[in-house]
Protein backbone atom coordinates (compact mmCIF):
# COMPACT_ATOMS: atom_id res chain seq x y z
CA UNK A 1 0.00 0.00 0.00
CA UNK A 2 1.62 3.31 -1.05
CA UNK A 3 1.90 6.11 1.49
CA UNK A 4 -1.24 8.30 1.54
CA UNK A 5 -0.26 11.96 1.75
CA UNK A 6 -3.89 12.80 2.51
CA UNK A 7 -4.11 10.40 5.45
CA UNK A 8 -5.19 11.60 8.90
CA UNK A 9 -1.73 11.54 10.48
CA UNK A 10 -0.12 13.28 7.48
CA UNK A 11 -2.70 16.05 7.95
CA UNK A 12 -2.08 16.21 11.71
CA UNK A 13 1.69 16.49 11.09
CA UNK A 14 1.06 19.37 8.65
CA UNK A 15 -1.32 20.92 11.26
CA UNK A 16 -4.17 20.81 8.76
CA UNK A 17 -6.43 19.07 11.26
CA UNK A 18 -6.29 19.55 15.03
CA UNK A 19 -4.81 17.21 17.60
CA UNK A 20 -3.96 17.50 21.29
CA UNK A 21 -0.19 17.67 20.87
CA UNK A 22 1.85 16.71 23.92
CA UNK A 23 5.38 16.67 22.45
CA UNK A 24 7.03 17.87 19.25
CA UNK A 25 10.53 17.93 17.81
CA UNK A 26 11.76 18.56 14.25
CA UNK A 27 11.31 14.86 13.50
CA UNK A 28 8.63 13.49 15.87
CA UNK A 29 5.07 14.49 16.83
CA UNK A 30 3.09 13.03 19.74
CA UNK A 31 -0.59 13.64 20.40
CA UNK A 32 -3.51 12.18 22.36
CA UNK A 33 -5.37 9.25 20.78
CA UNK A 34 -8.92 10.35 19.90
CA UNK A 35 -10.33 7.02 21.17
CA UNK A 36 -8.26 6.36 24.28
CA UNK A 37 -7.87 2.72 25.38
CA UNK A 38 -6.35 3.71 28.74
CA UNK A 39 -6.40 6.81 30.99
CA UNK A 40 -3.26 7.93 29.13
CA UNK A 41 -3.09 7.04 25.42
CA UNK A 42 -0.59 8.97 23.31
CA UNK A 43 0.43 8.31 19.71
CA UNK A 44 4.08 8.97 18.89
CA UNK A 45 4.61 9.53 15.19
CA UNK A 46 7.79 9.99 13.15
CA UNK A 47 7.21 12.85 10.72
CA UNK A 48 8.63 10.87 7.77
CA UNK A 49 6.13 9.18 5.44
CA UNK A 50 6.42 5.49 6.40
CA UNK A 51 3.35 3.24 6.41
CA UNK A 52 4.45 0.56 8.85
CA UNK A 53 7.43 -1.25 10.36
CA UNK A 54 7.51 -3.32 7.16
CA UNK A 55 8.35 -0.18 5.19
CA UNK A 56 11.23 1.04 7.34
CA UNK A 57 14.51 1.65 5.52
CA UNK A 58 17.98 1.49 7.04
CA UNK A 59 18.20 5.29 7.03
CA UNK A 60 15.17 5.48 9.33
CA UNK A 61 17.25 4.11 12.20
CA UNK A 62 17.98 7.59 13.58
CA UNK A 63 14.37 8.80 13.55
CA UNK A 64 13.05 5.56 15.05
CA UNK A 65 15.56 6.02 17.85
CA UNK A 66 14.17 9.52 18.30
CA UNK A 67 10.65 8.07 18.54
CA UNK A 68 11.77 5.95 21.49
CA UNK A 69 13.53 8.91 23.08
CA UNK A 70 10.28 10.86 22.71
CA UNK A 71 8.49 8.04 24.57
CA UNK A 72 11.05 8.35 27.36
CA UNK A 73 10.58 12.13 27.57
CA UNK A 74 6.77 11.95 27.48
CA UNK A 75 6.73 9.28 30.21
CA UNK A 76 8.81 11.56 32.40
CA UNK A 77 6.71 14.62 31.53
CA UNK A 78 3.48 12.76 32.45
CA UNK A 79 5.08 11.29 35.56
CA UNK A 80 4.40 7.69 34.55
CA UNK A 81 8.03 6.66 34.13
CA UNK A 82 8.25 5.02 37.55
CA UNK A 83 4.83 3.35 37.60
CA UNK A 84 5.07 2.14 34.04
CA UNK A 85 3.58 2.25 30.60
CA UNK A 86 3.27 0.12 27.49
CA UNK A 87 4.51 0.89 23.98
CA UNK A 88 2.74 -0.85 21.09
CA UNK A 89 3.24 -0.81 17.31
CA UNK A 90 0.48 -2.55 15.35
CA UNK A 91 1.50 -3.84 11.92
CA UNK A 92 -1.06 -4.88 9.30
CA UNK A 93 -4.33 -6.72 9.74
CA UNK A 94 -3.58 -9.40 12.36
CA UNK A 95 -2.38 -6.68 14.72
CA UNK A 96 -5.32 -4.39 13.86
CA UNK A 97 -3.41 -1.54 12.22
CA UNK A 98 -5.97 1.02 11.03
CA UNK A 99 -3.80 4.01 10.15
CA UNK A 100 -0.98 3.45 7.69
CA UNK A 101 1.46 6.00 9.01
CA UNK A 102 3.79 4.26 11.44
CA UNK A 103 3.01 5.18 15.06
CA UNK A 104 3.80 3.97 18.55
CA UNK A 105 0.97 3.78 21.08
CA UNK A 106 1.97 4.84 24.60
CA UNK A 107 -0.57 3.44 27.07
CA UNK A 108 -0.59 4.09 30.80
CA UNK A 109 -2.64 4.96 33.85
CA UNK A 110 -4.00 1.49 34.55
CA UNK A 111 -2.68 -2.01 35.09
CA UNK A 112 -2.06 -3.70 31.73
CA UNK A 113 -2.83 -7.34 31.13
CA UNK A 114 -0.43 -9.80 29.51
CA UNK A 115 -0.66 -11.36 27.00
CA UNK A 116 -2.49 -8.62 25.11
CA UNK A 117 -5.68 -9.53 23.25
CB 107 within 8 A of CB 37: yes
Q: What is the DSSP string of 31-85?
A: EE-TT-SSSEEEEEEESS---SGGG--GGGHHHHHHHHHHHHHHHHHTT-TTT--
Binding status of residue 94 toward ligand AMP by CB under 6 A: no
One residue of 15, 24, 34, 69 binding ligand AMP per CB under 6 A: 34
In the residue annotation, 103 being an active-site residue is answered as: yes
Binding ligand AMP (rule: CB under 6 A), the pick from 65, 96, 110, 112 is: 96
Shortest CB 99 distance to ligand AMP, Å: 4
Output the smallest distance, CB 96 to ligand AMP, in A. Answer: 5
C-beta separation of 31 from 12 below 8 A: yes
CB 54 within 8 A of CB 91: yes
Among 3, 23, 25, 33, binds ligand AMP (CB under 6 A): 33
Catalytically active residues are 103
Residues that bind ligand AMP (CB under 6 A): 8, 19, 33-35, 43, 90, 96-99
Amino acid sequence: MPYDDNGIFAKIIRKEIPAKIVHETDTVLAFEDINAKAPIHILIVPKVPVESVNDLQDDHAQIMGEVLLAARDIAKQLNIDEKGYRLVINTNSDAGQEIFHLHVHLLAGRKMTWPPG
